[in-house]
Each structure stands twice: as C-alpha cells, then as structure tokens.
Amino acid sequence: MAAKRASKNDPERRQRIVDATLDVIAEHGVANTTHRRIAAKANVPLGSVTYYSSSLQALMTTAFLQLATQASEAFKARLERAADRREAVEAVIDIIADSVWAEPRTLLLSYELYTFAARQPPVSAVMQQWMDSSRVALGRFFDPLTARALDALIEGVGIHNSIDAAPLSREAIRVVVERVAGTS
C-alpha cells in the first residue's frame, strides 16, 4: 500500500524535507541528490521542496547545518558532564572510542559535507560553526591551541577508525589524547 501524502496544512513538512535531504545525501551522495529524490523520500509533492528552499544548494546547506548542530550537541553534552580537566580527557576518549558523534551515518554525511564545502566555499560557514562549537566545548578545559588539536584529533581518529582495517583501540586512543592534552 502506498504511503499517504501529507495534507496541505502540514506544519512538519519543511522538517521532513530537511530530514529527507540528509537521507538522500547519505544514500546517493551530494552529487546525486535531486529535488525529485528528496520529494520522494519526504513523501511530498515536488513543488513543496522548491517552495521551502530557494535552491538545492540552499536546501543541502540547511540540512548540513542541522547535521552539524546535532553532532555538536552530542559532543557538547558529553563534555558538559566533565567537572575538571581529567574528566574532560576521559570525555574526549569517550567521544572518540564510543563514537559519540561519529556513528556511521553521521560520518558518511560529514564526508559529504567536507566535499560539498570544498566545492561551495560559502558552505564552509557550516563547517566553521561545527568547529567553533567543538572548540568552545573543549575550551572549558584546554587552552585554544590544545582545544583545536583535540578537535582535529577527535574528528580525524573517528574518520580513520571508521574505515581502518585495524582501528585504534580505546587504550591507544587514551595514549594519543593524553599526549595531545599534555596529561601523559
């Protein structure tokens, strides 16, 4: 049985379109994301997709901003539980080792975001917001340079571990984080 289309007065339609955009990007990549695929995934008329966004680039930017916000919130929530620098180091280890932000779909979408931002320089603001948010959360416990290095480490190890045949163990992650944080 076919899914029923939403009514004209659907207050959640825009959000479904944004969510569907991320789903389509995850399934097909930025290069193969189209208004039609998004409309089909969101179960809305094609005109709704173009109504809610001025362009496909604008819609993908909105979707990527949502992704960055959600990933940043998970990252920040884990760091907020830390009361001191030692606990912050443990939080960073958890973020990396337990894939707090880097679950497979988010990683895949972040690869797409990096590529999209590299080809669409105005979109780099989304990446900058994500990095700034991470660095602010880390900045409660670490100086700006160390926060920046830890931010890059978190993302880099997460990405590498997602595709490496021999990903770093939790203990190896601990050693690296403690070295960068200056606590080893």
**CA 145 to CA 52: how far, in whole Å?**
40
Please spell the DSSP secondary structure of 90-133, one letter per residue.
HHHHHHHHTTSS--HHHHHHHHHHHHHHHHSGGGHHHHHHHHHH
Assign residue 129 the CATH number of its domain.
Answer: 1.10.357.10
**Domain range for 39:** 10-53
Assign residue 20 the CATH number of its domain.
Answer: 1.10.10.60
Q: Look at the chain and report how many structural domains it folds into.
A: 2
Q: Is 102 exposed, middle or buried (0-12, 13-18, 19+ CB in 10 A)?
A: buried
Per-residue pLDDT of the chain (184 residues; tens, 9 = 90+): 455 555 566 889 999 999 999 999 999 999 999 999 999 999 999 999 999 999 999 999 999 999 988 888 988 999 999 999 999 999 999 999 987 766 788 888 988 998 999 888 878 888 888 899 999 999 999 999 999 999 999 989 988 888 889 999 999 999 999 999 998 7
**Closest by alpha carbon to 95, among 43, 54, 106?**
106
Q: What pTM was estimated for this model as a whole?
A: 0.83
In a domain, 172, yes or no: yes
Q: In this structure, are 113 and 32 located in the same domain? A: no
